Chain A
Amino acid sequence: MKSLRIPRSPKVIVGLIILGIFVVLTVIGPWIAPYDPNANTFIPNLTPSWEHWFGTTTLGQDVLSQLLVGCRVTMVVGFIAGLVATLISIAVGLAAGYMGGRTDEGLSLLANVFLAIPGLPLLIVINSYLPAGSQANPLVVGLVIALTGWAWGARVLRAQTMSLRDRDFVEASRIIGEKRWRIMWSEIGPNLLPIIAASLLFTILYAVGVYSTLAFLGLTNVSTWNWGTMMYWAQSNNAALANEWWWLAPPGVAIALVGTSLALINFGIDEFINPRLRAAGLSARQRRRVGLARRPRLGFTPVLRQSTVDPKKVS
């Protein structure tokens, strides 16, 4: 059994650092916000300055404060939706993949249906039928997002479970007579970890994106600060036409950075799952140093005329 050792490439490290920063801001953002995000007492449309790092809005509010306060809701909804969706997909994927038969048929059909229905329109419809109080509640919205976002992970996990189910070590413990759930938990589970991690990253990405999209469309409570509502207010006050980039850019870039960090971490997981994606041998710079072409060429094995193997190791 392999342990989850994600290659520690620069990509993964950068991704973890960016994500770490946003996680910290999720916790402390509202506390370190310099002003009340709702206070509209400042001079409108200020460009960034010492007093207002990200300037002020047309309504005279401080952009940085909105960004910091909005971080928490955005991230919490994203993580909750991602977690719940991943839990659903683990349950469905493992059950379908391990049990097979009718259970599998039914669950697979369910997953396929959810995959085929376009998520955002479905969310918009469900959301519009929610009572006004629930629409404003980020938790409820997060759960609804989870409901529309679990199917992809379930499908991948199911396929992987099926292929693991028939491998030797699972077969062996089945013969010894271990209980089903124990086999699933102790034998199959650890082998699914990288895939579960990837699907968690994807669903968080999806949830952050979808939640802020709903907010941008004004379909959640527009007075709860999150990055989508910031864009909503910017859009409804024609910030783009007035070239107020300092108002538009922070929420958009923040979402993009969170997304990038998740994707970068996923690169590492991808390379773990699919070793062919791993860069073979040295980085371009190291290759140059030992005198090789920058990039390996298919069908043109390099001739170095000197071994780099430690001579002590070759008797």
Chain B
Amino acid sequence: MSLTDANLVLHVSNFSVDYGYADEAIRAVTDVSFSLGRSRVLGVAGESGSGKSTLVYGLTRLLRAPGVITAGDVRLRLSGAREGEIIDLLAATEDDLRAIRWSEISIVMQSALNALNPLHKIGKEFDEVLRVHDGRLSKSQRRQRAEELLALVGLQPDRLQRYPHELSGGQRQRVMIALALALRPQLVIMDEPTTALDVVTQREIVSELHELRERLGFALIFITHDLSLLVELADEIMVMYAGRIVERAPALDLYRAPRHPYTLGLMESFPPLSGERVAMTGIPGSPPNLKTPPAGCPFHPRCAYAHDRCRNEMPPLNDIEDGGRSVACWLHDPASPVEVPVSLSRRGDTTPGGVK
């Protein structure tokens, strides 16, 4: 596996992560493969506990014990001075990793309040990353850069003098975004950056991100459990369930015409972006206990279309509809005894849920 296409930033294949070892081990991410193009936005969706965070923290080697990467290959194409170099993240040494952290990959965590050092003023956070990664910048240059970055996310320069607890939730998350862009990384990972915020602020930040991406051209992996949020932002969406990718498709296609029963359920758990509010039906039951995953399709205990095959055989992630998208569901197998229901066979240009 490699990163032959020069337009790809990240290539992941057969990536698996366990928590714990031996008797206590659970498989939290199983056999995930995807690649991400330059300046593209990949959305990752799924209920809480489906393995989204484990996936991205694993890829970046930031996952804490007892997390262990048990299989896969992760390659990152470097930019800037190291343009053209490709680094194998799973074989990298600590020093290799340190050299690319923040300058090539940066991350925004769910809770900005927890992610910012409570004893540091905002200014110091910027100053530190700029100083550590670029020794040539003078103090005043670093300060000027920090002010520019804050302006990028619509914050006043006086915020640099504040401590994290003195800012509002939205301001803190904007600070985190500005900080993530400080070294112009080519890949930014955001793990539910808006989940803790109110709906209005969520929308604001998402549209700001959209603009920023257009302007600065970084690639983005954006995690959320709110699918409707992704449609605005993402080029492609990956839906995860029980540590696996169950559906992957271009954002609008996935949103308008889901193919996996779980994706459909996810969408019905959130009000649509526009139009009338419809009753949210959600998904009955809860995600499986990864210690004792169900046999066959992990979604079958909650799936309205489950049939015998689902209970015994694991559906592979297969390309459908000429390779534009893929889904892991027996319904879409040509030999499926159950007819694909209307809700899962719409054409990409219709909208689900009766919303125009």
Contacts and interface: CB of A to CB of B under 8 A. Distances in A.
A112 B291 CA distance: 47
A307 B97 contact: no
Interface in B3-45: 16, 18, 20-22, 24-27, 30
A314 B69 contact: no
B62 A315 contact: no
Chain A interface size, as a band, is 20 to 34
Contact of B16 (A287, A292, A299, A307): A307
Given A281-B21, A282-B21, A309-B25, A304 B292 contact: no
A308 B21 contact: yes
B65 interface: yes
A315 B61 contact: no
B296 interface: yes
Contacts of B91: 303
A314 B71 CA distance: 14
Interface in B52-104: 57-58, 61-71, 90-91, 94, 97, 101
B295 A315 contact: yes
B71 A307 contact: yes
Interface residues of B, number: 36
Contacts of A304: 18, 68-70
B64 A298 contact: yes
A313 B61 contact: no
B118 interface: no
B206 interface: no
A9 to B, nearest CB: 15
A301 B70 contact: no
Contacts of A306: 70-71
Contacts of B294: 315
B344 interface: no
A309 B65 CA distance: 16
B293 interface: yes
Given A281-B65, A297-B94, A302-B69, A309 B296 contact: no
A290 B20 CA distance: 11
A305 B293 contact: no
Contacts of B183: none
A223 interface: no
B21 A299 contact: no
A305 B298 CA distance: 24
Contact of A301 (B24, B61, B71): B61
Given A297-B94, A315-B296, A315-B314, A307 B65 contact: no
B27 A307 contact: yes
A176 interface: no
Contact of A281 (B24, B30, B70): B24
B292 A300 contact: no
A302 to B, nearest CB: 5
Contacts of B296: 315
B67 to A, nearest CB: 6
A30 B351 CA distance: 87
Contacts of B57: 301
A116 interface: no
Best-buried of A306, A309, A314 by chain B (most CB within 10 Å): A309
Given A281-B20, A299-B97, A307 B70 contact: yes
A314 B294 CA distance: 9
Interface of B: 16, 18, 20-22, 24-27, 30, 57-58, 61-71, 90-91, 94, 97, 101, 291-296, 298, 314
Given A281-B24, A296-B64, A310-B25, 7 more contacts: A281-B20, A281-B65, A282-B22, A296-B65, A296-B66, A301-B68, A308-B22
